[in-house]
Amino acid sequence: MTIRFDGRVAIVTGAGNGLGRSHALGLAALGAKVVVNDLGSATNGSGSSSAIAQAVVDEIVGNGGEAIADGADVADEGQVAAMVARAMDKWGRVDILLNNAGILRDKTFSKMDMEDYHKVMGVHMTGTVVCCKAVWPIMREQNYGRILLTSSTSGLYGNFGQSNYAVAKAGMLGLMNVLHLEGAKNDIRVTMLAPSAVTRMTEGLLPQEAEALMRPEAITPGVLYLVSEDGPSRFILSASAGSFARILLHETRPAYFGDGERTPDAIAAHFNSVDPHKDVLFMENAFEQNKSLVGAAAEKHGFSVAF
């Protein structure tokens, strides 16, 4: 089966440059009608310009596709609502949302001021929530939706000097998990991308030989799979340079300590000997953790608990 997006309408935020531009072009090439959203700001979030979004639209239209430009600030609820309304007025539906807009204000935690924190959180985390909220009732009504959240290994694994960015990117994990559960009955699938590519935000930070491989176009095919009709939900895709991997959140099998054994030293000794690569459990939701931990305790006491 060949993945296509004929008849589908997609909104791509931050689509004037880099990854967003590549995703918008990729969707359009496979038949999607695309809202190319970009505020046109600098990498630190300052300024605005409509020119870059329109340039991508012109490229899509020049290749025979359909697209409109939009300059909404993703953190502004009114502007995002107007953007979604434009898509509905023109095409009557919204099937795909790619949350890609982002900025950087890198500083070590000791030097970062709260303005830098709030601005980065506003674009990445609040902006993602605002866009998801705007399309959510539409996707529920049509019983179809595909939402991609753009996270980062800076949030999932950590990166020096990016505490504000990391908080925003790690927060998307919680959002994905909940929207996956709440959207399932209406066939709304929510996934997350942890990409590494040469863009305006990473230019000059990577070795030249790596930059030659790390083009945004090497990541987009994975994104197109995630937001396709048969794509997965609650799936974290790590992607760079044409290489793809799945990121998983696991928990080790619990050990129960009785009243006489439950000391800090005993617990420390146990975890110092745990091999995290063996005997791990995948939790489908928060309730699964209760089943695992309370179940282990109940088993030690000679009974079972039915959750």
Q: What is the pLDDT of residues 156-174, one digit of tens each?
A: 888 889 999 999 999 999 9
Structure confidence at residue 281 as a pLDDT band (50, 70, 90): confident
Active site residue 225: no
Instruction: Please state, in angstroms and rounded to a whole number, the distance separating the CA atoms of residues 225 and 186.
Output: 19
For the entire predicted model, the pTM comes to 0.88
Q: Quickly name the fold that domain 9-247 has.
A: Rossmann fold (3.40.50)
Better-predicted residue by pLDDT, 14 or 272: 14
Mean pLDDT of 182-191: 98
Extents of the domains making up the chain: 9-247, 250-300
Name the active-site residue from 117, 157, 165, 256: 165
Instruction: Please state, in angstroms and rounded to a whole number, the distance separating the CA atoms of residues 27 and 8.
Output: 9
Burial 78-112 (b: 16+ CB within 10 A, else e): ebbeebbeebeeebebbbbbbbbbbbbbbeeeeeb
